[in-house]
Amino acid sequence: MAEQLRLRLEEVTHEKEQLRAVLEGMVEGVLVVDTKGTVLLANHRLREFYGASADIAGRPLLDSIRDAELDAIVARASQTDEVITHELTVEGARPRILSVYAARFPSGGARRVGTVAVFHDVTELMRLENVRRDFVANASHELRTPLAAIRGFAETLLGNGGLAEADRRAYLEVIDRHAERLGNIVSDLLELSKIESRKSRLAPQALDAGDVARELVQDWEPRIREHGIRVAVHCEGESGVWADRQALEQVLSNLLDNALKYSEADAEVEIRVKGADGRVCIQVRDTGIGIPSEDLARIFERFYRVDKARSRALGGTGLGLSIVKHLVQRMDGTVRVESELGAGSTFSVELPASPGS
Ligand code: ADP
């Protein structure tokens, strides 16, 4: 009998330890409170959410986690057999949005032991939802502006039969410009959605980043000359990258396009290719207008522009850098920017080196 008892005890201890390991390893927070509101269990994740100490068990809930809203949810769940769901915001160094499911147990007629609550961190989900909502609002706004201009001028043309030829021509030119703008926005949006939905397959191959940069500069020679800007390409170390040709060309085109757009005449642009330790860094450096430090973190966002009017006047859509970011990420690379207002900007794209280089 003693042996049986020992085995049973071992089994119970083992099960308890297993349960504790599962609870402590969960990505969800778990809180168990008895009928008097005393904490019976709070797993590691829950303590992390609320910055609570490890010895929270055995203390009143409101004493250890000072959140009246959570206390009210637990109290409500203890009054009903239904599962209470609620969204909570936890302030602190890293504010979070938690989705809480609370239910008393055991449910039904049995004598109640307490309430269990499970917490999911939905902060990232909410952020993405906001990004999506902002994107729809921004895209509609961006499309509405040229559309309104086109309609306005078309109506004027239709309603004024006796317009002078010069005015007619000027109005048609405005319509043409805005129609082109609409076209640019729609094609950039389609490009972005194609990259994001991963419909377009990238075909990475061994390429010489220096050659790609030099070819690009050659193709752009007339535009570069028109801007009165000098562009130089410098290579250092191995410049063999593992990248999709079209994607790499598009990334460099967008960066070079910006370097030209946001520089005054007589400025200098340098494309520097440097390979080391299995990576190749391609930098596009300009001596242009620069980017204010408070905008740096946001310029890769869709439609984000430091100076909307200047970007529009130059035919920008605010989508060029988003396309760069997404293409680079799909090629297992990274992109970052350093800039000083009035002194210039440097965009650095880092890509995997081609095998064997
Ligand atoms: P846009 O079509 O407006 O150029 P991008 O996504 O390419 O859109 O760039 C976003 C914004 O970042 C630009 O509107 C501009 O304010 C800023 N920017 C990008 N590149 C540069 C640069 N080389 N120098 C200064 N500002 C830049």
Chain-centroid distance of CA 274 in Å reads 27
Ligand 1 pocket mutation pick from 189, 255, 261, 286 by most atoms within 8 angstroms of CB: 261
Least confident of 13-27, 269-283, 307-321: 307-321
SS3 263: coil
- Which token pair is 241? 């990258």
Residues whose CB is less than 8 angstroms from the CB of residue 275 and which lie 6 or more positions away in sequence, other chains included = 209, 236, 237, 238, 239, 240, 241, 281, 353, 357
Q: Would you place residue 109 in the very low, low, confident or very high pLDDT band (cuts 50, 70, 90)?
A: low
Is the pLDDT at 227 greater than 90? The verdict is no
Counting every residue written for the chain, the total comes to: 357
**CA 254 to ligand 1: nearest atom:** 7
- Which token pair is 344? 């210039």
Alpha carbon distance 11, 135 (integer Å): 56
Q: What is the pLDDT of residues 257-275, one digit of tens each?
A: 999 999 988 899 999 999 9
Pocket of ligand 1 (CB under 6 A): 254, 258-259, 261-262, 286, 288-291, 299, 305-307, 311, 316-322, 345
Neighbours of 27 (CB within 10 A): 7
Stretch 322-329: mean pLDDT:
95
Residues 207 and 320 sit within 8 Å (Cβ to Cβ): no
Alpha carbon distance 79, 55 (integer Å): 27
More confident residue, 30 or 91: 30
Q: What is the pLDDT of residue 108?
A: 67
Return phi, psi of residue 83, to 5°: -85, 125
Q: Which residues of 154-183 are buried (b: 16+ CB within 10 A; e: fewer)?
A: eeeeeeeeeeeeeeeeebeebbeebeebbe
Q: What is the pLDDT of residues 3-49, one digit of tens each?
A: 999 999 999 999 999 998 999 999 999 999 999 989 999 999 999 99
User: Could you give the angle at the alpha carbon of 114 between the alpha carbons of 111 and 117, nearest 5°?
Assistant: 140
Is the pLDDT at 322 greater than 90? The verdict is yes
Shortest CA distance to 27 belongs to which of 99, 132, 104? 99
pLDDT, the chain, mean: 92
Residue with tokens 């500069």: 217
Pairing of strands 240-243, 39-42: unpaired
Distances (CA, A) of 181 to 132, 221, 306: 23, 24, 18
Is the pLDDT at 111 greater than 80? The verdict is no
Residue with tokens 């081609």: 354
**CA 302 to ligand 1: nearest atom:** 6
